[in-house]
């Protein structure tokens, strides 16, 4: 596959990104009058970028934008999205201010690599979480500076575990992905900080490689992450529904016929408005890979 075709595949994946969330579905929204009103009906890139922009306009002077991002992040996890959002909102309201959160988040996103772990931990401490999980806290760096910071979650970590060798081999001079540990029930914690750091650097590097495209889209680190999120493969347990003749799709993938499967997958995200779906094209290929470097994806 040529670089032009590979870049086209990445762009198709980004265009297919969907993460629809109704903020008004938050069970305790009435505790925050005037907030939790935004509807991301399709949850595509345009709507998501709009949500990021809204956060940056409001988050330095109000706590509620931080609460909204927490609920948005957890919206696909029905067992925890309400209670965890409420608990984090209570912790923040009782222990910090919007100004302090904003200041500490900026200190993290603007710091040198040598200080990153310390600055992230200081920012994370403001949330007063019962564990040292990092995915939700890391979301705010992605909202604060999406040009340079992608999000992380278990779905993305599993993609890295499955695909990192191929991508590292294809671009040995670039940032190398580090395998996530996922030791505690698949939850990303501080012992996965090296993975998160490598993922951030890799997304920035990949964005730079993807940006010189004919359509003139300036790729951000977050865009790379969105495209990977759309990719099929090691799925989060909360994204389980497929449509179409699954047995035929699996057979095609095992036979290496990835192109014929592009767009046949969809991911079920529970929302207030019923089933919303995210199209998932075939797995992304390394931009610099040769045919001999590319094998069929063995798991769906």
Structure tokens of 241? Answer: 């529904």
CA 70, CA 213: separation in Å to the nearest integer?
33
Q: Is residue 300 part of a domain?
A: no
CA 146, CA 231: separation in Å to the nearest integer?
20
Per-residue model confidence as pLDDT tens digits over 232-258: 543 322 222 222 222 332 233 333 333
Read off the DSSP letter of residue 278: E
Q: Is residue 292 part of a domain?
A: no
What is the predicted pLDDT for the residue at 282? 38
**pLDDT class of 121 with cuts at 50, 70, 90:** very high
Read off the DSSP letter of residue 285: P
Stretch 156-179: mean pLDDT: 95
Task: Give the strand pairing for 39-40 and 265-271.
Answer: unpaired
Q: Is residue 129 part of a domain?
A: yes
Q: Is residue 219 part of a domain?
A: yes
Q: Is residue 298 part of a domain?
A: no
CA 56, CA 179: separation in Å to the nearest integer?
31
For 232, the domain range is 3-285
Rounded to 10 degrees, the C-alpha dihedral 238/45/296/167 comes to -110
Over the chain, what is the mean pLDDT?
80
Count the alpha carbons within 13 Å of 150 in the hemisphere toward its beta carbon.
Answer: 28
pTM for this model (two decimals) = 0.78
Q: Is residue 296 part of a domain?
A: no
236-to-65, 155, 186, 229, 297 alpha-carbon distances in Å? 26, 5, 10, 10, 17
Q: Is residue 126 part of a domain?
A: yes
Per-residue model confidence as pLDDT tens digits over 52-93: 999 999 999 999 999 999 999 999 999 999 999 999 999 999
Q: Is residue 290 part of a domain?
A: no
Looking at the DSSP bridge assignments, the partners of residue 267 are 278
| Phi and psi torsions of 50, nearest 5° | -60, -40
> How many domains, in total, are found in the chain?
1
Per-residue model confidence as pLDDT tens digits over 208-229: 999 876 667 899 999 999 999 9
- Which ranges constitute the DSSP H helices of the chain? 3-15, 45-58, 64-74, 81-95, 98-109, 116-125, 135-144, 154-170, 193-210, 221-230, 246-254
């Amino acid at each position: 596959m040529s670089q032009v075709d590979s870049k086209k595949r990445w762009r198709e994946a980004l265009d297919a990104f969907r993460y629809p969330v109704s903020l008004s579905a938050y069970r305790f929204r009435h505790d925050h009058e005037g907030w939790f009103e935004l509807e991301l009906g399709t949850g595509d890139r345009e709507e998501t970028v709009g949500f990021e922009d809204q956060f940056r306009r409001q988050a330095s002077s109000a706590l509620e934008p931080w609460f909204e991002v927490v609920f948005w992040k957890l919206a696909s996890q029905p067992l925890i999205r309400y209670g965890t959002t409420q608990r984090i909102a209570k912790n923040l309201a009782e222990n910090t201010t919007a100004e302090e959160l904003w200041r500490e988040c900026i200190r993290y996103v603007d710091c040198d690599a040598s200080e990153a772990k310390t600055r992230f931990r200081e920012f994370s401490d403001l949330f007063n979480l019962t564990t040292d999980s990092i995915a939700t806290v890391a979301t705010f760096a992605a909202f604060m500076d999406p040009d340079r910071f992608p999000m992380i979650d278990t779905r993305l970590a599993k993609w890295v575990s499955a695909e990192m060798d191929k991508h590292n081999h294809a671009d040995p001079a670039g940032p190398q992905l580090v395998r996530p540990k996922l030791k505690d029930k698949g939850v990303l914690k501080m012992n996965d900080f090296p993975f998160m750091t490598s993922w951030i650097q890799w997304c920035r590097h990949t964005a730079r490689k993807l940006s010189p495209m004919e359509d003139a889209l300036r790729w951000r680190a977050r865009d790379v992450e969105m495209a990977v999120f759309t990719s099929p493969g090691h799925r989060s347990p909360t994204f389980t529904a497929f449509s179409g003749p699954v047995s035929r799709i699996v057979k095609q993938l095992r036979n290496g016929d990835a192109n014929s499967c592009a767009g046949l997958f969809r991911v079920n995200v529970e929302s207030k408005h019923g089933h919303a779906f995210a199209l998932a094209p075939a797995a992304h290929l390394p931009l610099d890979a040769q045919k001999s470097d590319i094998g069929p994806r063995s798991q769906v």
